[in-house]
Copies of this chain bind each other. A is one copy, B any other.
Amino acid sequence: MNTNDTPWNGAGRRIHMQEVGTRDGLQVEEAFVPTEEKIALVNALSQAGMAKIEVTAFVSPKAIPALRDAEVVLREIDRKPGVVYSALVPNVRGAERAIDARADELNLVMSASESHNLANLRMTREQSFAALSEVNALARQAGRAVNVSLSCVFGCPMEGDVPVATVLDWCARFVDDLGARGVTLCDTTGMAYPGQVAALTAAFRARWPSTEVTLHFHNTRGMGLANVLAAISAGADRFDASLGGIGGCPYAPGATGNVCSEEIVHALALMGYDTGVDLGRLIAASKRLPALIGHDIPSQIVKAGRRLDLHPVPADFPAIRERALARAA
């Protein structure tokens, strides 16, 4: 392998980091993060240089009270030019609210697995597609971009492997039939592995070379970063990640959080990729999370620091050295 053509050598290639912690993360928290704190968090993520931020979800406040302030948050954040402010919408009512609150992009969700779609959304996949088609029409009318997050494309925790042909068929319905700007291939429960990721990413890229494709990984089985690198090697340049590594899936036992934004940015920066993200600002934002959500976060970068955040020598180091040198004499 030519060392200049490996995933370990970023060579300044642009990678777009897309934050999902404010939606995918906060929605599963017990604590209600105060509206002004959410706004401050989104603003900090904008300032840190995230390319896209999934700010919130326009869902029923009864179903997800943690995000009941979706309108206010989306209206009152500072809009940094170039950053895409996205919102998850499950249906037409949500789409109307998101459009009113000036979402740049509506993120639509369904699962590539029938069982997961039923368990998670209480609809068949066909019913979901029909509902999302209406949302899509509304977004188009309002001139807003549409992204589709397709869950379980790397496997379903109830069904097992989901055939690549099934995944590509659903992608085709959204991209070719509905004209979606982008598709997110979601590893909802951390079943993806690098060879599989490279193959599906390459298949998508070959069929839709100009459609935005995002990869969304969870670190459930320790393969998060390796999957990111495998996707990059197959042509992907957009990744969802969650500040502090927060988030999870209530319908997937054992699932852990999304890949951690600062871990991915830290690793990609060391490899010479251009994420456009100021890692110091990102870590500072992540360090504020435990106070907001009331518990520790998975982030190993917040725990251990950056690789060159050095530690002082032990207090007795001069004495150790002196004793050692005395033995040498």
Report yes or no: A222 in contact with B224, Cβ–Cβ below 8 A. yes
**CB < 8 Å neighbour of A122 from B233, B267, B323:** B323
Residues of B within 8 A of A312 (CB): 158
Chain A residues packing against B (C-beta within 8 Å): 1, 3, 5-10, 115, 118-119, 122-124, 126-127, 155, 157-161, 190-191, 193-199, 202, 219-226, 229-230, 233, 251-256, 260, 263, 266-267, 270-272, 300-301, 303-308, 310-314, 317, 320-321, 323-325, 327-328
Report yes or no: A119 in contact with B314, Cβ–Cβ below 8 A. yes
**CB < 8 Å neighbour of A272 from B195, B220, B229, B317:** B195
**CB < 8 Å neighbour of A226 from B155, B229, B328:** B229
**CB < 8 Å neighbour of A328 from B126, B191, B256:** B126
Residues of B within 8 A of A314 (CB): 119, 251
Report yes or no: A310 in contact with B159, Cβ–Cβ below 8 A. yes
Report yes or no: A260 in contact with B222, Cβ–Cβ below 8 A. yes
Residues of B within 8 A of A308 (CB): 155, 160-161, 191
Nearest-Cβ distance from residue A43 to partner chain B, whole angstroms: 26
**A–B pairs, 12, beta carbons within 8 Å:** A1-B5, A6-B198, A6-B230, A7-B194, A8-B198, A118-B324, A127-B324, A157-B311, A194-B270, A220-B300, A221-B301, A254-B304
Residue of B nearest to A228 (CB): B226
Residue of B nearest to A307 (CB): B191
**CB < 8 Å neighbour of A320 from B122, B191, B229, B303:** B122
Q: Complex: how many Å from CA A53 to CA B122?
A: 50
> Beyond A225-B225, A300-B221, is A324–B5 a contact (Cβ under 8 Å)?
no
Residues of B within 8 A of A270 (CB): 193-196
Q: Complex: how many Å from CA A255 to CA B311?
A: 11
Q: Complex: how many Å from CA A3 to CA B226?
A: 16
